[in-house]
Structure 1
Amino acid sequence: MNDNRYRIRVMRREEVDLAMEWAAQEGWNPGLHDADCYFAADPKGFLIGLLGDEPIATLSVIKYDDAFGFLGFYIVKPEYRGQGYGLQLWKAGIDYLQGHNIGLDGVVDQQENYRKSGFTLAYRNIRYEGTGGGKAPRQAGIVELSSLPFETLAAYDRPFFPANREQFTRAWISQPDGHALGVMQDDRLAGYGVIRQCRNGYKVGPLLADSPALAESLFLALKAHTKPSDPVFLDVPAVNPAAVALAEKHGMRVSFETARMYRGEIPDLPLARLFGVASFEIG
């Protein structure tokens, strides 16, 4: 396909809102303030394909550092699918991340296509859906994350991701319509979690903790900030049986799953302490 009306460029900030809207139409249920947080991670990491002046395709290629990037928001408007426009945008995104290990969370039926582009399956992520409300546990140690020095949080978070994501984390923990909590044990941070309002209900993520008991305390404390009528979602790595058990213990059911894949070495992450993924779109 060679259409000289088709061009690809970096998105402006307001165009990221369009990607969010398309994601909502695809049923991905983005958070109300995801655009601001994602844009903070890499303002040059959003690409748009235009046919004339009409936006017809989006892709995010967040460059966290010189070695790792994450790909998401690969969406082509339905009436333009199958015509090569998305593939051109995909190639432009891969070029932007040239020399980087690239991660993505792809829908399961696209795994084979991603394999053809050099991606390897690491594990499945499972989205669980339940209901909100409940009481926060009376466990000593639950603290407002904002009460801790950011450096303490950044040091705790660093092993859980293949690259430094401090720019994203600063925005993520302080977003409107969200809540961020930590849990202390022996005078040190032993876990943290964030819950944010989405188009439909709330999502918990990330949820990181040094033990299943601490993860459960954080989860319940975060969920207590919602109403019993609110849907609550938790995206867990299927390879962490304790995370699966946490979701199932609290009556959550599977609603979706993705394939976490990498185009390069599969990072050695402490998945046994990762109970909830921050975002399928940027990791």
Structure 2
Amino acid sequence: MTEQDLAMVLDWAGAEGWNPGIEDAASFRAADPDGFFLAEIDGDPVAAISVVNHDRAHAFLGLYICRPAYRGKGHGFALWQAALEHAGDRTVTLDGVAEQQANYARSGFVFAGRTLRHALGSVPLADSEARPAQDADLPALMKMDRTASGHARDGFARAWFAGTDTRTTWVLGPEGAPTAFATHRLCRSGVKIGPLLARTEAEARGLLAKAPRAPVFIDVPEGTALEASVGSIGFEPVFQTARMHRGPAPQGAPPAYYAVATLELG
């Protein structure tokens, strides 16, 4: 895909109800510009997918969409097979809708757990010492992200944590040595928070309190401390995906309170 193609596909994602961020395209491409694929028939785009190589051992699959008029004709699966070749022998991870789990399993993907999207009309007001991330914080933020995810994804993280008009990473702790953080990005509807990495519930709530507008969405692995915490302040699950891996799963060590960055890139 070109950058313009990716912007178009994110509009497709918006039409599917996936609610992508307003400025996702540039930071997605920063991860791996060659990892976004489009299928065309006579110049007409019909299907899309991303297989982003984050490092030499790990890739992430997302943005798998076939336009409604072309579904059921094999175009999406043909693109799926071609795009997976980009990953080589890397482990490939995805967050897929639960009803497609059996299809993904036929391609060698193994279920590892569920991610639940939680939503709330507005986050309760709370005192917070969180501040916008500065350039001096980026090395520490990227190191925390590598530890939590179990692999390097520095191209994506560097772009994701950089501030824009619609995306802010809030941090707790001294400049250059943050102890917790969360990225907030404006989307077609409301704001999504992710990733969120915090050691304590107080840190997590302080980061949630910086949500700039309603509604608020956050993608939380099932059975975690953060799932219980967001539920206690009124968040409710509205959507779920299946986290699956083809190959050895990354061995991340996230803190007690953590949320996924984005279902498209992990």
Aligned counterpart for 2:76 among listed residues 86, 109, 118: 86
Q: Residue type matched to 1:217 in 2?
A: G
Gaps of 5+ in 1: 1-10
1:45-194 correspondence to structure 2 within 5 Å: 45-132=35-122, 134-139=124-129, 142-146=130-134, 148-173=136-161, 174-184=163-173, 188-194=177-183
1:12 paired residue number? 2
The runs of at least 4 consecutive aligned structure 1 residues that moved more than 6 Å come to none
Aligned counterpart for 1:276 among listed residues 232, 254, 259: 259
Alpha-carbon distance between aligned partners in 2 of 1:239 and 1:92, rounded to the nearest angstrom: 35
1:215-226 correspondence to structure 2 within 5 Å: 215-220=204-209, 222-223=210-211, 225-226=212-213
Residue correspondences, number: 264
Q: State the Cα deviation string for residues 96-145 of structure 1 (Å, max 9, x = none).
A: 11201000000000001111111111110000010235434145xx2321
Question: Is 1:212–2:195 an aligned residue pair?
Answer: no
Aligned counterpart for 1:195 among listed residues 176, 180, 184: 184
Q: CA deviation at 1:188?
A: 4.1
Whichever of the two has the greater Rg, that structure is 1
Greater shift in the superposed pair: 105-114 or 142-151: 142-151
Q: State the Cα deviation string for residues 7-48 of structure 1 (Å, max 9, x = none).
A: xxxx11100011101111111000001111101111101000
2:215 paired residue number? 231
TM-score normalised by structure 2 residue count: 0.94
Look up the SS of the partner of 1:89 in the other structure: helix
Contact 2:54 2:155 in 1 (8 A): no
Alpha-carbon distance between aligned partners in 2 of 1:14 and 1:175, rounded to the nearest angstrom: 19
Q: State the Cα deviation string for residues 204-248 of structure 1 (Å, max 9, x = none).
A: 01101122221122112x22x32xxx21001100031x1111211
Q: Residue type matched to 1:159 in 2?
A: T
Contact 1:182 1:190 in 2 (8 A): yes
The 1:217/1:49 distance shift into structure 2, 3 A limit, reads same
Look up the SS of the partner of 1:189 in the other structure: coil
Gaps of 5+ in 2: none
1:262 paired residue number? 245
Alpha-carbon distance between aligned partners in 1 of 2:164 and 2:151, rounded to the nearest angstrom: 21
Contact 1:24 1:30 in 2 (8 A): yes
